[in-house]
Amino acid sequence: MTVPLRLRNRFSGAALALLIVGLGPGAARAAVHTTATAGPWNAFRGTATDGHPLCGVSTFDDPPGSAVLIKYFRGDTHLVVQLEKQSWAIPRGSHVPVRLRFDRYSAWTARATGAGRFLELTVGDHEIRRFLREFRLSYRLTVRFPAGNEPRWHTDLTGTDAITADFADCVGKMRAASAPTQPYVAPAPTRPSPAPRQNPAAQPGGDSSSYR
């Protein structure tokens, strides 16, 4: 399912507007830019409204009026998955059951937190590798909403094999930047000097130089 990666500098105006909305309330002050595009997916990096560096991937209008975003904020130990639909009106703080399934892999079940047109859930640190592997290798994401009357979403994952590489690179760099630093370098452990090598004693009548 490999799709060529097309590097770009900026979103188109419409895609950028959708992404800014997808980052959350007040996100008009966020500064993000596209780093790669593959199939219907974009990879992006930038700064959230609270100043936190972030990176992520996104797709829009599959199904129409919806958005799926996967984000990582520097310093976090988890990923954030955000689902958005323009027609939703979810009371802030509501807990909504959600099931995500990549192709025929086991379903991911979560209680998402809602606010307006957004639902947000997290992927814990120990589950990130498996989540991204399934995201990268699958052809379709199916999202089910057991409560309410929202129909299933079937989201095209064409391009995620390529786009995940850019996202993983961003996450790796942000994690490295967040690693604790020290003002010193621990000295390397020392070993005792080896004992001087002793030449065998010369045998009577022999030439001791042959042992040197």
| Beta bridge partner(s), residue 58 | 42, 69
Q: What is the pTM of this model?
A: 0.75
Tell me the helix, strand and coil percentages in the chain, rounded to 5: 25, 35, 40
Write out pLDDT tens, residues 147-198.
989 999 999 999 999 999 999 999 999 888 777 767 877 777 777 666 666 6
Name the pairing type of β-strands 90-102 and 79-85: unpaired
**Which tens digits make up the pLDDT trace of 42-72?**
999 999 888 889 999 999 998 899 999 999 9
Of the two residues 196 and 132, the one the predictor is more confident about is 132
Selection from 24, 42, 25 nearest residue 33 by Cα? 42
The full set of domains in the chain, from first to last, is 13-179 (2.60.40.1880)
Beta strands in 103-185 (DSSP E): 108-116, 118-123, 140-144, 153-156
For residue 51 the two structure tokens come to 């100043």
The Cα–Cα gap between 102 and 81 comes to 14
Q: Cα–Cα–Cα angle for 142, 144, 147, nearest 5°?
A: 175
